[in-house]
Amino acid sequence: MAEPSLAVRRKSRPGSVRKRSRAPLQPGPACSPVARKRASSGGEGQPVETPCSNDSEDDLFGDYDSFYGSDSLLAQVDDIEHKYLQDKNMDIKAAGEIIPGNLQSGIHQKKQDNFSTSENMAVLKADKEDALQMNENEPVDNSQELTESILDDLPSSQLLYFEKMDELSSGSRISPDSERRNKCVNSSSDKIRSLSSFCPDTEDRNRPTDFSSGSKCDLFKTESLKDHLKSAMTGNAKAQTLQVSKTKQLKEAVLSEEICVAKKTIESSSFDIGPFYGLPSKVKDLFRQFRGIETLYEWQHDCLMLESLQRRKNLIYSLPTSGGKTLVAEIIILQELLCRQKDVLMILPYVAIVQEKVRGLSSFGIELGFLVEEYAGSKGRFPPIKRRIKKSLYIATIEKGHALVNSLIETERIDDLGLVVVDELHMLGEGSRGATLEITLAKILYTSKNTQIIGMSATLNNVRDLQKFLQADYYTNNFRPVELKEYIKIRDTIYTVDSKTEKGFTFSRLLNFKYSSNLEKADPDHIIALVTEVIPKYSCLIFCPTKKNCENVASMVCKYLKKEFRAHKEKEKQDLMKNLKNIGNGSVCPVLKQTIPFGVAYHHSGLTNDERKSIEEAYSTGVLCLLACTATLAAGVNLPARRVILRAPYVANDFLKKNQYKQMIGRAGRAGIDSAGESILIVQEKDKHLVQDLVNSPLDNCYSNLLLELNKGMQSLLLSLVGLKIAVTHEEVDNFMCSTLLGVQQQLLSKGKSLSEIVKDGLENLAEKGLLKGRVSEKDCNSKCTLTITPLGKATYKGSIDLAYCNLLYRELKKGLEGLILESNLHLLYLATPYDMTSNCSPDWMIYLRQFNQLSAAEQKVADIVGVPESFITKKASGQAIRKNVDSAVVNRLYLSFVLYTLLKETNIWSVSEKFNMSRGYVQNLLNAAASFASCVLHFCEELEEFWVYKALLTELTKQLTYCVKTELIPLMEVAGVLEARAKQLYNAGYKTLAHLANADPETLVRMIEHLSRRQAKQIVSSAKMLLSEKAEALQEEVEELLKVPADIPGTY
């Protein structure tokens, strides 16, 4: 693949020399080719040999203590001055142009003999030309070129003198080339401006200067040039040299200039892609440095060069899992942030993937000058801070992405969002989350004509519907970096999946593994035979239908593995066990204790966040070679394997869907490691015909869920449309609905009712709930009657509260105002306990009673207030009959609030899960859900003045639930990817604040922190720097807003 050429090459920097000979010299072998080329291209003589060294600042005057020690320089200056003053036939205007150049040439020629300089002029000239994109085809006057080189070589304080000289001139002509360059430089960023303070402005150096006769006479009358030089050089000797690396300044200048050029290239819709697809060459270097990516795949190049992308049209692209889709999206994101200077929203399906992406892109943000902001769980600011200088990349879950878009529409800032990227676009067809994603995209399409939408997925079928919905072009390719071989296993026979045959698969081989009668009983599916063909040398994933099955399979495999497996990476496995023990405060899951010595573990939602992260890292580094996991891993973090085994064609009790099957087998084959990937689906004879249909069927279609998910779908959409004033009449709402995926598919989904009738029913329902006002049910009502949102309705959509619970939440918060128990946070925790988790809760009544009895009298009062009397709990625990009806949802919710209350006191998931006889994964999920719901309730209360008292209380509670650690660890936990166990390690090692982490040396972190890889250390430091930068930017924005002079001050015009 032809790779885009780079506009800027790297250079070796020449350093100081004590004395320079003016004799012609040859370029040394250590100098860069660019330096040699530039040095030889300007003049007739041969280039000067320049030894290369690092950036260093020698004494400004080299071997001379004082310029008074040698008068030859000033004498020569005096001679030149008199020569030009006495030439009466010379045109004054021409004299004005020549004198500064020749005077400076004379100065430099003498300085070459007497002064130590810090840079070689030819190479620095080359640097400057690259940084400012000089046009080499234009003829350049030799004296002007020499003047530029001279100025580059002078110390910073000397440069100030020549700036003063230019200021004294009465007028100037700016060449078109200089004007273009200056416009570009000034529009770049602060980086190029910082260069200006160190080196004289390009315009001032390159432009010819007009001296009027009056101004020239005044200049020489006031003081001779000789006196000027004496004064300036004395000042130079006293002046403090700027402690700034010229190399760093110039590199930043190059980057800023390239961004400027790339921006112009992008805006011109030209196919000249510049250094790296319209981006600075530094971006390519960063991909190489951070990701190890040297070149793009051919399909990636083709996709980035699509005319639809050049013209900023919406795009859907689809490739198999592991094909490299994300890299294309990241390049498009960087184009938007750097070249078009617009904010970007990236929507990802799960919190863990959001955090992984924040960690991965923070290092790019630090290097390229944009912010990376996390919107997941309880994190995220609504509306986001409006940045004046830096642009933001918002990385969000589906729910948080929707809330973010709502806030941008409400504050009329949706056009600031230049690009929205959606990963796993097929999730449009998946339940309430799909409905939320559809609503988000429909609002963007309807309210902003300038926001581009990019959607990607590995499993799309009815693409035409999606294209029509998103008004997008489509690109697809079957590329996989590693070949995938699909097999199915029936009894002891392996078949190759072949869609060309009638049955769908053909015979491949028989299993070659001797089974004893005992082993046959324990492992009827021959899992041990399949895994021992690849582990421990290669990695393997086993997808199981249930969490319990994952643990059973992991245990069974280890029971029959040979002891030699224990010796593989034994020390690393011992370290992993220690780490898990620290996470559990001395406790380790019995199953993991048995399996990890063999390099085997399980992975499902029953693990805590810290455990899951440790196991994922151990698998990625090869310490673990086999994971038994549930289907969630297929759509989660990227953990590929040489072989993927599907334990059964089921997810829980449901038969496998084609999309799920493709997601799972897509994990087979690791690019750059494996030559091929294998998937093996274990099939029982009874499911054979179903599997034949599965492997031969097309991918699942993607259908709108707005009607299926009524509260989180259609009604939620209608409420926010009116609240955001996107559509405030029945007619406008109908028009909007036509632009949704439901509108595209209404003939398939509406089931006898027209879309307009469905909308009308939804609006009536919202009015009945007290969320909307307006005549929507009267038959004689004009379709142009304006609808308005009630305060409760506004609080509901801004808090992202499920419409099924909004009235109940309002009543409970109102009741809380009458007697909120603040002796502890139990009452608040009850209000922040998610409603949707109560249905899965089955209280242990003895534990319920024990926990109730441990509460103080004031805390026990909370149970009475919410409607769970002590007598009810006592009778339930003793098995007595209950006559009085008590709402089971309230009983379960109070029980869950007891769990959260204990968790916040003990901050240990393991001890709490044992105390309540719950799985630690369930407790972890409850904590995560409570933190997110507390954030929603906080936003709900912010919209209702009567609930002002809850604002401060819920702000602090949300923070406690988000981190659930001791207060001193919270600043460290704010960094993406730092969980409790890692935060404790960092704190104990002396890294106690965000500033400590942001300024840490990754190598030192690796030495001081156990089980921390170099890559993880770099990501932690980058994430900390990004968070610190984000907070500093926010404060700076606040300061500037405070100091901003109002435009409407009374008495001013």
Q: Please determine, for residue 40, whether its predicted confidence score (pLDDT) is greater than 50.
A: no
Q: Please check the confidence at residue 516 and state whether its pLDDT lies above 60.
A: yes
| pLDDT at residue 275, rounded to an integer | 79
pLDDT at residue number 176: 44
Instruction: Tell which residue, 82, 98, 63, 116, has the closest CA to residue 226.
Output: 82
Q: Which of 159-163, 498-502, 638-642 has the lowest mean pLDDT?
A: 159-163
pLDDT (0 to 100) of residue 247 = 63
CB-based contacts of 866, cutoff 8 Å, min separation 6: 812, 830, 890, 893, 894
pLDDT in the model for residue 79: 65
The percent of residues above 70 in pLDDT, for the chain, comes to: 73
Instruction: Pick the range with the lowest mean pLDDT from 271-285, 369-383, 664-678.
Output: 271-285
The set of residues, in sequence order, having a beta carbon less than 8 Å from that of 29 and lying 6+ positions away, is: none
Strands 676-683 and 643-646: parallel
Alpha helices, H only, 699-853:
714-723, 730-737, 741-744, 746-749, 755-768, 791-798, 806-818, 826-832, 845-853
Q: Average pLDDT for residues 762-769, to the nearest whole number?
A: 93
- Residues 6 or more apart whose CB falls under 8 angstroms from that of 815 comprise 865
Q: Average pLDDT of 742-769? A: 87
Q: What is the mean pLDDT of residues 82-92?
A: 52
Supply the pTM of this predicted model: 0.74
Q: What is the DSSP letter of 738?
A: T
Asked whether residue 90 carries a pLDDT value surpassing 80, the answer given is no
Question: What does 955-1018 look like in DSSP terms, one character per residue?
Answer: HHHHHHHHH-S-GGGHHHHTSTT--HHHHHHHHHTT--SHHHHHT--HHHHHHHSTT--HHHHH
Q: How far apart are CA 62 and CA 70, in angstroms?
A: 13
Residue that is written with structure tokens 């709990």 in the block: 873
**pLDDT higher at 94 or 412:** 412
Place 57 in a pLDDT band, splitting at 50, 70 and 90: very low
pLDDT at position 130 is 44
| Average predicted confidence (pLDDT) for the chain | 79
pLDDT level of residue 235 (50, 70, 90 thresholds): low
* Least confident piece of the model among 176-180, 279-283, 592-596: 176-180
**Cβ atoms of 649 and 695 closer than 8 Å:** no
State the alpha helices, DSSP H only, in 474-533: 517-522, 527-532
**pLDDT higher at 231 or 770:** 770
Percent of the chain with pLDDT over 90: 55
Lowest-confidence segment of 540-549, 620-629, 773-782, 942-951 by average pLDDT: 773-782
Question: For residue 1040, how far is the Cα from the chain centroid?
Answer: 27
Contact 801, 855 (CB under 8 A): no
Cis peptide bond upstream of 843, omega within 30: no
Number of neighbouring beta carbons within 10 Å of residue 944: 17
- The pLDDT of residue 214 is 42
Q: How far is CA 960 from CA 688, 737, 954, in A?
A: 51, 40, 10
If pLDDT is split at 50, 70 and 90, which confidence band does 251 have? low
Candidate from 183-192, 285-294, 577-586 with smallest mean pLDDT: 183-192
Tracing tokens 């280890």 back to the chain, one arrives at: 558
Question: Residue 495 — pLDDT band, cuts 50, 70, 90?
Answer: very high
Give pLDDT, residue 228: 60
Q: 654-655 and 650-651: which strand pairing?
A: antiparallel
pLDDT digits (tens, 9 = 90+) for 843-855: 999 999 999 999 9
pLDDT of residue 265: 55
pLDDT tens digits for 989-1032? Answer: 999 999 999 999 999 999 999 888 888 899 999 999 999 999 99
pLDDT by residue (tens digit) across 377-422? Answer: 889 999 999 888 899 999 999 999 999 999 999 999 999 999 999 9
**Phi-psi category of 989—alpha, beta or left, where left has phi over 0 and alpha has psi -120 to 50?**
alpha
Structure tokens at 1026: 């990004």
- β partners of residue 417: 343
Output 225 or 1005, whichever has higher pLDDT: 1005
Give the pLDDT of residue 225.
56
DSSP 17: B
Is residue 242 predicted with pLDDT exceeding 60?
no
Place 586 in a pLDDT band, splitting at 50, 70 and 90.
Answer: confident
Please determine, for residue 133, whether its predicted confidence score (pLDDT) is greater than 80. no
Distance (Å, whole) CA 402 – CA 345: 10
pLDDT for the residue numbered 111: 38
Give per-residue burial for 795-822: e unless 16+ CB within 10 Å, then b: bbbbbbbbbebbeebbebbeebeeebbe
Q: In which residue are the tokens 């419409």 written?
A: 803
- Tell whether the model's pLDDT for residue 353 goes beyond 70: yes
Range of 36-40, 146-150, 810-814 with top mean pLDDT: 810-814
Cα–Cα distance for residue pair 382/369, rounded to 1 Å: 23
CB distance 246 to 254 below 8 Å: no
For residue 854, give Cα distances in angstroms to 128, 268, 849, 860.
74, 71, 9, 9
E-strand ranges in 322-471 read 343-347, 371-375, 392-396, 417-423, 452-457
pLDDT tens digits, residue range 546-563?
999 999 999 999 998 988
What average pLDDT does range 516-538 have in this prediction? 91
In terms of pLDDT, which residue wins out, 150 or 675?
A: 675
* The pLDDT value given to residue 82: 61
Question: CA-based angle 913:914:915, to the nearest 5?
Answer: 90
Using only the alpha carbons of the chain, give its radius of gyration: 35
Q: What is the pLDDT of residue 1013?
A: 86
**Is residue 247 within 8 Å of residue 55, measured between CB atoms?**
yes
pLDDT for the residue numbered 84 = 55
Q: Is the dihedral of CA 982, 988, 994, 999 positive or negative?
A: negative
Count of helices and strands (H, E) across the chain: 50, 21
Host H or E run for residue 76: helix 72-86
Residue 304's DSSP bridge partners are none
Report pLDDT for 889: 93
pLDDT level of residue 473 (50, 70, 90 thresholds) = very high
Average pLDDT, integer, range 435-457: 96
Position with higher pLDDT, 856 vs 774: 856
